[in-house]
Each structure stands twice: as structure tokens, then as C-alpha cells.
Amino acid sequence: MAPGGGICKDVIESRITFAEYDMATSSAELRGSPLRKAATSLGGNLGATSTNDVHELLECPVCLNLMYPPIYQARVHNSCPTCRNELGNIRCLALEKVAESLELPCRYQILGCHDIFPYYSKLKHEKNCRYRPYHCPYAGAECSVTGDIPFLVMHLKNDHKVDMHDGCTFNHRYVKSNPHEVENATWMLTVFNCFGRQFCLHFEAFHIGMAPVYMAFLRFMGDEDEARQFSYSLEVGGYGRKVTWQGVPRSIRDSHRKVRDSQDGLIIQRNLALFFSGGDRQELKLKVAGRIWKEQ
């Protein structure tokens, strides 16, 4: 939601608690995962070391995150560059070398990623893993819920009470009684089920420079490569005039604010929107027609 903005419809906030897959990989999860290679020793004094033992050495004892160089040590524990628990300032080069010899599964293995990565490449992969969970696409409030697409569809329906529609064409009307008094606002999200996939229709008021505008755009509930398989059009008009937009839906991997700020959608100045609304131009009654199709 734009700073200082409001929601143009009462919203029931999310009450669901969902396990964040973005949390640090726990020791319990990884101890059951396949490791192709493991170091057999840590210095000359420790002798043979099992894979699980090496794993434990590379875990922060506080947050259970796997540690990455520089790895420091204290008298008992290693310190963690993630949680910043300051347990020492002596570089542990031996442990860094052991880490180099390991190959580990992606933390999103339980969501479908079965690739194995060298220890120091694992973190980079996980930031862009196609199986990583999605953030809730709802734009009317800061919602921290994450999950896969089926889970988020149910979350939007049950917790945010969004409008769900079937079909690839739509004719949606946005109403506001005091449009001149609302500088920044987000209307209730609408979700369309089309081609077996879900698309989120956004509509909001904000400013481009000093000019008050309305913007409508579509986001795809899936990854960017899948989103590029689809196109959509939006149209507003009245009194013999119309404004149209055609584009590719953005993935919900891109935040609602990122898409809005990139102006990747149908933008219409407030005065023109009120003209299309008819009457004395004191009330917004803007009809947005649209169509979604799949590229061949």
C-alpha cells in the first residue's frame, strides 16, 4: 500500500500462521538429507568425522544457520555471521576448508528441489530457487504469510476474503465517493482463475510526480518464466473515448509496489477517470474491462 494510503474496503486481516520456509535450515532437516561428500577429518587431532558431526560444526549454536566465510571461533563455539552472535574473533580456516569439501541439498528439497550444491554455492542458489515459497500477493496490508500457490489461494480466499472469479474475461467496477480526498489508496484484490492458473488484478490511486492517477495491473501467481506465457489487456472508457493497455502479467515474485513503481500497467489520470465515470465528476465509478489469453 502506498505511504499514507488506505484500503477502500474493510478487510479481515490474516490470522493464519504458516511455517516460514525462508527460515534457516534446521539441523533436524539437514541431518536426514543426502550428502554426497563429507570431510573425513578436521585437523590432525580430531580423526575421522562423520557427515553429521561436520554438519553440526558448521551450524551456529544460536540460530542454527549454516555458517559461511569468514567463520570465526571462540573457546567453545563458532560465531555466526547471520545472527551476529559475537563469540570470538579468531578465523577458523580449517573449518572453512572442511566446508569447501561438502555438497548439500537445497533447503527447499521438501518443496521439490532435488539438486545438490557445493557448500558455498548453496546459499546463492536458494535466493533464486524456483521452489522457494511465494509471498502473499495481497496489497491492502503488510502480510507476512508465505507458501506455495495452492496454499496462498486458500489464504487469500479465507483470510483476506478476496473476490474469486472463474474466466478469462472480466468487467470490474471501482467506486469511490470522495476521490478528490483520497490521494493514496488500494482497492480490494480480485483473483481470476484462468487456464488453470491464478491472476491478481490490482487497482489503486497514487501520484506520479504531482499528478494524481489510477493504475490497474495484473500479476501472475507463479514464476516469471510461466508469466511470460500469457498476455492481458485492460480497457477503460466512455462517451466515445477509451484507453487501452496490453502487456504481460508480472510474477508475484515482484512485489506489488515494485510493479506499481515501474508503471507497468494501465495508468489513467484522475480527471479523465472521473470524466469516464460520468455525472458531476465528484464520484469515481470506473469500469475496467479486461481479457487474459495464452500465447502460442
Classify 154 in phi/psi space as left (phi over 0), alpha (psi -120 to 50) or beta.
alpha
Domain containing residue 72: CATH number: 3.30.40
| Residue 165 belongs to a domain | yes
One domain for residues 163 and 275 = yes
The sign of the torsion formed by the CA atoms of 158, 160, 162, 168 equals negative
Cβ–Cβ < 8 Å for 217, 264? yes
Read off the pLDDT band of 9 (50, 70, 90).
very low
| Residue 84 belongs to a domain | yes
One domain for residues 102 and 64 = yes
| Residue 196 belongs to a domain | yes
One domain for residues 201 and 81 = no
| Residue 122 belongs to a domain | yes
Q: Which pLDDT value is given to residue 281?
A: 79
One domain for residues 177 and 284 = yes
Count of domains for the chain: 2
Domain containing residue 202: CATH number: 2.60.210.10
One domain for residues 147 and 273 = yes
User: What are the pLDDT digits (tens) for 232-276?
Assistant: 999 999 888 999 999 999 999 999 999 999 999 999 999 999 999
Judged by average pLDDT, the poorest of 41-45, 56-60, 235-239 is: 41-45
Average pLDDT, stretch 144-168? Answer: 94
Residue 181 has pLDDT above 60, yes or no: yes
Read off the pLDDT band of 185 (50, 70, 90).
confident
Final residue belonging to a domain, choices 87, 105, 127: 127
User: For residues 210 and 265, what is the distance between their CA atoms, to the nearest angstrom?
Assistant: 19
The alpha helices in the chain, defined as continuous H runs, are 27-31, 51-57, 93-100, 119-128, 149-158, 224-227, 256-261, 270-277
Does residue 214 or residue 30 have the better pLDDT?
A: 214
One domain for residues 74 and 138 = no
| Residue 7 belongs to a domain | no
| Residue 148 belongs to a domain | yes
One domain for residues 154 and 278 = yes
Final residue belonging to a domain, choices 110, 127, 144: 127
Does residue 190 or residue 31 have the better pLDDT?
A: 190
One domain for residues 144 and 285 = yes
Q: Could you tell me the residue range of the domain that residue 105 belongs to?
A: 52-127
Cβ–Cβ < 8 Å for 136, 152? yes
One domain for residues 108 and 179 = no
Q: Which pLDDT value is given to residue 152?
A: 96
Cβ–Cβ < 8 Å for 210, 236? no
Beta bridge partners of 90: 73
Quote the distance between the C-alpha of residue 205 and its chain's center. Answer: 22
Residue 41 has pLDDT above 60, yes or no: no
One domain for residues 165 and 150 = yes
One domain for residues 102 and 227 = no
| Residue 14 belongs to a domain | no
One domain for residues 256 and 286 = yes
CB atoms inside a 10 Å sphere around CB 64 = 18
| Residue 36 belongs to a domain | no
